Amino acid sequence: MPISSQQESYPVAQFRKTYFEECAELLDALQSNLELLSSGQEDDETLHAIFRSVHSIKGGAGAFGCTDLVAFSHTFESLLDALRDHKIAASQEIKQLLLRASDALADIVNAARLEQQLPPNFAADTSAAMLDALQGAGQAFEVPASSAAVETKSLSEQRYRIRFRPHTEMLKKANEPLLLIRQLRKLGVLSTEVDSSSLPALAALDPEAAYLNWTFTLDTAVPRGAVQDVFEFVEDDCDLDIELVEVAAGPVEAAPSDAGGAVATAVAAVSVAQSIRVDVDKVDRLVNLVGELVISQAMLTEQGLSLPADKYPQLIQGIEALAQSARELQESVMAIRAQPVKSVFARMPRIVRELAATLGKEVRIVTSGEMTEIDKTVIEQLNDPLTHMIRNALDHGIEPPAERAAAGKPRQGTIHLSAAQRSGRIVIEVSDDGRGINREKILAKARARGLVPAGANLSDDEVDDLIFLPAFSTADVISNISGRGVGMDVVKRNVQALGGRISVRSRFGQGSSFSLSLPLTLAVVDGMVVSVGGETFIIPLVAIVENLRPQVSEIHPVVGRGHVLALRGEYLPLVYLHRVFSISDAIGDPCRGIVIIVQSENAGRVGIVVDELLGQQQVVVKSLEANYEPVDGISGATILGNGRVALILDVARLHEIDIRGTAGRLPASEDSRTEPAKDMIHAA
């Protein structure tokens, strides 16, 4: 079917949007592989992956008139091709040049996406350095003027004659000519001539050898690069000649090339798409509907428990089957929204390189846990907080090379960016081996600005928390990087808006570590239902280590800190829920109630004292921020099978609230918010 008949429902604007969406993914992959190359992984596969990203971006750029992007990526691609062929060594200078080229390519792509004009001679120094490297290695370089002219003009349907002669061993490498023909057919109108003159007699025929040659005539609106890319993986195993014969009479709308997977052509988008792009609002609605389905299923299960099994066996069996199907549906829907944090982490090395060069510092960034998955909406909001934290570590944390050497440290500082799942939450840490927090300086500046009373006696943790106060900065000089007091307080607000929290640990002279704790925000979690007095709470099952009823001899008081539980040679702090939330008629003696040992992010293992366990249940998480207001110690709410509302505990905060008690010593911005919890409990 001709492309022109397929394109009526696929306007060029839609192709353009798809192209730039996929460019973002290709740039992330390019950055990740360049980081591998910089760290010493110089194998051919890494170089091939880097080349494919640049080649794919270039392949679709010409169709949309992005001449600057075509020209720069062509130079970039030529340098990578020379590296792949081992005509240029992957020296440290070349690796740095590739990183600079990647940064420039990202800027050019972004400018093309926004239809913005770049400054004159943008990235000219990088292009010149790449050309110098090619010429220094004796590589001829031809500016693709004619190619660009063909690709960037208003594309009418063009006719290509393609002579394809497979080498004898091509089939032995699992390359199937029929698949290539099918791909060509998706690009336009294809006619085929087969040359079978090399076919031997049946007795001499090798079933694994290639004997047939083809001549194709293709009428298509896609650029030459898209035709070339069909044969990308067999170019070394065939003789290939692609000739532009003529321009056909009937013009059609331009179609972006399928440049190694960068942009699907019109027909390919219809017939072979293996993934689709869906509006996030539609996914949100689907998630909410699945949540309501799980609530309805829980209510049916609750009612089914009261029915005699001998009288209603089929009904009970159906309810159980519904529960299993609802769970599988929920897991599938949640997987749609979950994405690895790699897409955000991949942007940070460039920030480090550029800012380190500005500050005259030597810094490297090490990442781990990039494949940790988190909800897409959270990922989209992570970029700004992480950028602030990275800049803070570079400006305030990492010392200049000479200062580090004088302190006995390596001249090059290290920033470690990591992500992991802990206790049902995502924890992202930004740590550095720099100078750490100067608490005396912080406290002096806070007192000078009236942020802390003159006679207040603050602990180290409380002093560290002062850096999150609005309009607070320890920079001695105001610059375009820091000094105006609009950094870490912005980070804190952004993190809190996501339902998360931020904390800091530091040792003066050795470095600091900032930790972001974020909810998974998945709509359904497995939880333990517990009762305290007349109230019901949910503790996420992933946070629970064990449950027990202790002996009297195992409970010990600590002056000013409540009680601890002696458990197998370890002393665990106890948190009484009825005290935290002022619940009456609860069991105050842990030896008559139940102690649930949970794993807290910062405090390690903690014992939570409750009246009794009511059972394990899958529950739908409802946001308090969206429906009520944030409540300290509570991460969300749910509707149980009996129709009652139960609050989901934030186990890491409970211990901090219990230790703090009243908020007399902390800044006003950090005061406890358990009063709203009392209101919420009574309303429930």
Domain at 156-251: CATH architecture: 2-Layer Sandwich (3.30)
* pLDDT at residue 163, as a whole number: 92
Pair 159, 218: CB distance under 8 Å: yes
Give the tens place of pLDDT for each residue, 288-333. Answer: 788 778 778 878 887 887 888 888 888 888 888 888 888 788 778 7
Give me the CATH code for the 524-683 domain, please: 2.30.30.40
For the question of whether the overall pTM of this predicted structure is more than 0.95, the answer is: no
Q: Exposed, middle or buried: residue 333 (CB in 10 Å: 0-12, 13-18, 19+)?
A: buried
Q: What is the 3-state secondary structure (H, E, C) of 514-540?
A: EEEEEECCCCEEEEEEEEECCEEEEEE
Alpha carbons 620 and 297: distance in angstroms, whole number? 11
Bridging pattern class, strands 158-166 and 213-220 = antiparallel
The angle that helices 280-304 and 313-337 make with each other, rounded to 10 degrees, is 160
* pLDDT at residue 246, as a whole number: 67
Alpha carbons 331 and 522: distance in angstroms, whole number? 10
> Which CATH fold would you assign to the domain 3-149?
Four Helix Bundle (Hemerythrin (Met), subunit A) (1.20.120)
Question: Edge-to-edge, what's the strand order for the sheet holding 570-576?
Answer: 544-548, 594-600, 604-610, 570-576, 562-567, 555-558
* pLDDT at residue 431, as a whole number: 92
CA torsion through residues 98, 102, 103, 108, sign: positive
* pLDDT at residue 138, as a whole number: 61
Q: Enumerate residue ranges in the chain where pLDDT < 70.
A: 1-14, 63, 137-157, 174, 246-277, 423-424, 471-487, 499, 520-524, 601-603, 625-626, 660-684
Pair 437, 644: CB distance under 8 Å: no
Pair 260, 66: CB distance under 8 Å: no
* Per-residue tokens: 83: 């590296």
CA torsion through residues 58, 64, 67, 68, sign: negative
Alpha carbons 591 and 553: distance in angstroms, whole number? 10
Q: Which amino acid is it at 346?
A: A
Alpha carbons 248 and 261: distance in angstroms, whole number? 27
* pLDDT at residue 254, as a whole number: 38
Pair 378, 518: CB distance under 8 Å: yes
Alpha carbons 429 and 487: distance in angstroms, whole number? 17
* pLDDT at residue 252, as a whole number: 40
Angstrom CA distances, 332 to 329, 337, 563, 638, stand at: 5, 9, 43, 20
* pLDDT at residue 180, as a whole number: 84
- Cα angle at 614 between 612 and 616, to 5 degrees? 130
What are the counts of helices (DSSP H) followed by strands (DSSP E) for the chain? 24, 22
* pLDDT at residue 416, as a whole number: 93
> Which CATH fold would you assign to the domain 341-519?
Heat Shock Protein 90 (3.30.565)
* pLDDT at residue 676, as a whole number: 52
* pLDDT at residue 680, as a whole number: 54
Alpha carbons 592 and 608: distance in angstroms, whole number? 13
Domain residue ranges of the chain, discontinuous segments joined by +: 3-149, 156-251, 280-339, 341-519, 524-683
* pLDDT at residue 63, as a whole number: 67
* pLDDT at residue 595, as a whole number: 93
Q: Which residues does residue 362 pair with via DSSP β-bridges, in sequence order? A: none
DSSP states of 182-208? HHHHHHEEEEEEEE-TT---GGG--TT
* pLDDT at residue 273, as a whole number: 37
* pLDDT at residue 530, as a whole number: 92
* pLDDT at residue 247, as a whole number: 58
Pair 620, 523: CB distance under 8 Å: yes
Give the tens place of pLDDT for each residue, 126-172. Answer: 888 888 888 876 655 554 443 433 333 334 568 889 999 988 777 77
